[in-house]
Amino acid sequence: MSVIVIEVLALLAGLTGLGFLAKAALTRTRPGVRLRQEANRLEIDRAAALTCPIHGVQSEESLVRLPDGGTLCSVCYREAVHGQLPS
Ligand SMILES: [Zn+2]
């Protein structure tokens, strides 16, 4: 019984050590910093793609996919297709 407990503790210590090594590799090495910077860029690009310059932040589900692959906010699409909406 005590052997099993020691093995489980050794396994947990090994997994914890691997976790610390992985975290150190992602935060202190040049490739890790590069990965985080790319993730930051993707997050900023995604937030910018969801923001209409006129109507502000839109949910991803409310955007309209244009035939050329671009997206447009639903209010801008309605205005562009059906003319100016009454206010
Ligand atoms: Zn808009």
**46 alpha carbon – ligand 1 mean position (Å):** 16
**2 alpha carbon – ligand 1 mean position (Å):** 66
The answer to whether the beta carbons of residues 58 and 48 sit under 8 Å apart is: no
- Rounded to a whole number of angstroms, the CA Rg of the chain reads 25
The answer to whether the beta carbons of residues 72 and 54 sit under 8 Å apart is: no
pLDDT of 7 higher than 90? yes
- Give pTM, 2 decimals: 0.60
Angle made by CA atoms 37, 39, 42, in degrees to the nearest 5: 110
**16 alpha carbon – ligand 1 mean position (Å):** 48
CA–chain centroid gap for 18, Å, is: 25
pLDDT of 84 higher than 90? no
The predicted-structure confidence for 20-56, as pLDDT tens digits, reads as follows 998 888 888 999 999 999 999 999 999 999 999 999 9
